[in-house]
A and B are shown apart, each in its own frame.
Chain A
Amino acid sequence: MNGVADFRARELLDLTAHEQAAALRAGEVTARGLAEASIARVRAQEPVLNAYITLMDDEALAMADAADERLRAGNAAPLAGIPIGVKDLLSTRGVKTTAASNMLRDFTPIVDCTVVTKLREAGAVFIGKTNLDEFAMGSSTEHSKFGVTHNPWDLDRVPGGSSGGSAATVAAGGVPLSLGTDTGGSIRQPAACCGIVGLKPTYGRVSRFGVIAFASSLEQVGPFARDAEDAALLLSAIAGLDPLDSTTAPVPVPDYAAMLGRGLDGLRVGVPREFFVDGMEPGVREAVERAIDVFAANGAIIDRDVSLPSVAAALPVYYIIAPSEASANLARYDGVKYGYHADADTMWEEMELTRGQGFGDEVKRRIMLGTYALSTGYYDAYYLKAQKVRTVIRREFAAAFASHDLLLTPTAPTVAFRLGEKVGDPVAMYLNDLCTIPANISGNPAVSIPCGFSEGMPVGLQLVGGMFEEGTLFRAADAYGAVAGWKAQRPPIYGERGR
């Protein structure tokens, strides 16, 4: 690559995916040039960010070359040639998929997850597998076998989690798009911490086939992006019914792009009071209030008299259901068939030792919680009751969406906290997901978008939509983003700059 082209590619890397797509078609840059620029920038940032577990340089360049061919032939999909980071919870055929766990540190899947298959077909370029909390259990990316990921806005702070690597690399400009998974806020909370857009789709909107399971009834794969249009582009490519995942819904995927540019005028926005909790950081509250004013000033109809009383129970419900499902989902890791294996004298000792050494503390904590909640004598009091409350929460959301297009809340009660600050206090860590968990319990789609700063760190605004109404979320996010001017907001670590 010559110097000028190199500079142009780097410049284009700073653009959004849809702008890059246009540049690729205009012949301003090749997919290979873009991939090389992305790899170079990611590699330059890795020593301080640690956003990736596995870098896929060779695969990325081969994918880029294939994308260039399709671009030349004129039959390329919108994402052809766009660099993308993939959370290391998503199975990639022939590429290590670790779930950030010692248990799977050397595990290489023999199949792609459906989402990855779809992106391969779309011609996307995978730059690498991003860091996360082990098995997606955490809110800080500190629970990773492969070290913590740092927040590009302040390297002493967490990027959020569990999809912290995917959020950090997009915020730092390594890639314009990445994939995360969201079980209790694992896309939205890191998006808020890193000042980007992160969307959890409606449960059943995106296939979970090949996504290493944590809590099956709660999680969805979703996009990280720097604007709403990019997030819509990526969701369009991965959404839809999948015969391999019986929990995907037979609901057609609408044209999300058609929802953009429609403004906020006439949108009925509810602001449920339960999400504005006592321990909320004042700067976060102020930023969210200013955002509400922007919505109102641009024609949205704000309703502050909205209540979802059972949302207060969402966190305990989550910490029954998610660990219960996890306790079964993680039972397969016994060291017999694949993954980490510890030697011992007997089969049972081997299994115990394998699990004892293969899983980290947070994972073990949740397996034990779930095992307990499902045990004879406790099932009715815990799991069954949690499911009943879940039904009530679903109904409250459904009732709220009968008269509102959106619910507006903070994404998290605080900005990104400091590394090590909460890692020793699980409950404090869990409380950070207070505002995001309800949408996982109910299944509604929700997006976090940047809405200003507190303590010099980005604040996230959460918009929750009606079932399968991602289009409305994109419309509102796009309109708000246009007013708020996200593009000007870049972390100190951006581009090739180091610490």
Chain B
Amino acid sequence: MERMTTTATTKYEVVVGLEVHVQIKTQSKMFCGCSSAYFDAEPNSHVCPVCMGMPGMLPVINRRAVEATVLTGLALGCTIPPRSKFDRKNYPYPDLMKGYQISQYDQPLCLGGGLQVEADLGARFIRLERIHLEEDTARLLHREEAHGEGYSLLDVNRSGVPLMEIVSQPDIRSAAEAGVYLRMLRQTLRYIEVSDADMEKGSFRCDANVSLRPVGQEEYGTKVEVKNMNSFRAVQRAIETEIDRQTAILHAGGRIEQETRGYIDATGETASQRSKEQAHDYRYFPEPDLPPIAIAAEHVEALRATLPELPDARRARLEAQYSLAFADAHLLTETRTEAEAFEEAAVLVNVGITDAAAQQARTRAVAHWVIGDVARLRRAEGGGERDWSEIALTPSHIAELVTLTESGTITGTTAKEVLDIVFATGQSPVAIVAERGLGQVRDDAEIDRVASEVIAANPKAVSDYQGGKPSAIQFLVGQVMRQLRGRADANTAAEALRRHLDG
């Protein structure tokens, strides 16, 4: 998607702001003691009079949720005002148990900050407006009987789950940039372990405000809020669709109506949900059941001290410290567990190694395993990507594998085979090699014997080679390796074959 879009007479600039709702990973809900682990739970099993909005019930602030929000703000460069408060956002809907949502209006926990992103328009800084804390609503499940009558089921488990809303400034200029911004945001949230930030599970939700304005104009155009996207791809597609729709309207000389539109995944289109006239007046006012929150500067600094190294900083350090390429360091820092696994293996693999060049070779070997075959295996089974915490393979297994290869105990081919076994069984590479006799064949007589057998069994290839096709030797090398189940060095095998054929 281009930054500009053109109608008959005017060039338009794309203006996008994103509102991201993130469920905070806490033991209990935002304002009561119920477990917030509602996903996959029996409906209405994580409820109490407070989160059901029974008469007379009062909220009590979950300290951990406040801290997680402040931590997120610190990770995103926000300032943390010394005073914050909760407000009531009033609107009637059956999924809102009290008829109002406890949220934050004019004094959010975090202000400002932003993310440096790099997409189709180059490196740009997307400013944040704010991050505020609120409670999630219950879940409505709409059902239809066979004869067509519809009804709704209410699951209150989600009611009161801590939710932070991260609001960007309208600084995003393309759908691709929105995608990069969201991925980076998710990455940061996962690094600081405040949320699973999983769009499919609903712990990371995004609404987009999209508008166009003539290039060079300061004032923003009329914005349209687009909702109902449940994947990163859907967000990008919805923004693209909306840009196209608005461009077409402006092209035809029409005016953009301020409204809320819903994205329809099946068609990739958006449909109007609510016009400006139907918009709620939320009648915000300070929540009288909760005193304002005072956050001492020392408390903020104590939280800042718990911040882990963030993705960008870690990538830069990995590049420098381990002499890695940008692309490799980028991949290695995609998740915190990936980076941690890499660094742990990189330390283990170099224990007792003093030669700098050898260290670098071993470190790079570790990197290539982690971002290559290991990543492939983590993705392979079951569709989704399994985290390091969910697999049998450990960083010390990788270090062992590299040590076995570097020392010539096993060949590269064998190493891949061993990795598969480690992945499946959790057995250590050393044990697998010993148990299955996978050590490299160093006995030249053995290789020589197999070479003559292969020559005898493949007269066609032999005559090709001798008839002036030197590349035919590759086939014969392959046959030798196969006979030896990859446990020989390919160069040694080629030498043995040549001795027979050329000699």
Contacts and interface: CB of A to CB of B under 8 A. Distances in A.
Given A210-B56, A325-B288, A337-B52, A331 B100 contact: yes
B300 interface: no
Contact of A328 (B49, B54, B60, B88): B88
Nearest to B52: A337
Given A104-B55, A334-B99, A217 B92 contact: no
Contacts of B97: 332, 337
A376 interface: yes
Interface in B12-58: 49, 52-58
Contacts of B284: 374
B464 interface: no
B234 interface: no
A328 B100 contact: yes
B283 A113 contact: no
A331 B88 CA distance: 11
A306 interface: no
Given A97-B55, A99-B55, A331-B92, A244 B60 contact: yes
Nearest to A324: B285
Contacts of A298: none
Contacts of B290: 246-247
Contacts of B58: 208-209, 244-247
A91 interface: yes
A331 B154 CA distance: 18
A375 B56 contact: no
A338 B52 CA distance: 10
Contacts of A97: 55
Interface string A108-142: 01110100000000000000000000000000000
A243 interface: yes
B281 interface: yes
B281 A217 contact: no
B289 interface: yes
A371 B54 CA distance: 21
Contact of A212 (B49, B56, B92, B94): B56
B154 A351 contact: no
A206 interface: no
A387 B388 CA distance: 54
B60 A246 contact: yes
B433 interface: no
Given A246-B60, A328-B100, A374-B90, A338 B289 contact: no
B56 A211 contact: yes
Interface in A83-117: 90-91, 97, 99, 104, 107, 109-111, 113
A109 B55 contact: yes
Contacts of B285: 324-325, 328, 374, 379, 383
Nearest to A371: B283
A216 B289 contact: yes
B92 A213 contact: no
Contacts of B60: 243-244, 246
A328 B290 CA distance: 14
A336 interface: yes
B98 A111 contact: no
Contacts of A210: 56-57
B59 interface: yes
A110 to B, nearest CB: 6
Interface in A304-355: 324-325, 327-328, 330-334, 336-338, 347, 351
Contact of A109 (B56, B152, B289): B56
B82 interface: no
Contacts of B49: 109-111
Contacts of A217: 288
Nearest to B48: A111
B90 A328 contact: yes
Interface string B264-290: 000000000000000001011100111
Nearest to B60: A246
A246 B54 contact: no
A107 B289 CA distance: 23
A213 B88 contact: no
B484 interface: no
A331 B98 contact: yes
B291 interface: yes
Interface in B114-137: none
B348 interface: no
A332 B281 contact: no
B61 interface: yes
Interface in B145-195: 152, 154
Contacts of B100: 328, 331
Interface string B85-119: 00010101010011110000000000000000000
Interface of A: 90-91, 97, 99, 104, 107, 109-111, 113, 208-213, 215-217, 243-247, 324-325, 327-328, 330-334, 336-338, 347, 351, 371, 374-376, 379, 383
Interface of B: 49, 52-61, 88, 90, 92, 94, 97-100, 152, 154, 281, 283-285, 288-291
Given A331-B100, A337-B53, 18 more contacts: A111-B54, A209-B57, A216-B288, A217-B288, A245-B289, A246-B61, A247-B58, A325-B288, A328-B88, A331-B92, A331-B99, A332-B99, A334-B94, A336-B94, A347-B94, A371-B283, A374-B283, A375-B283
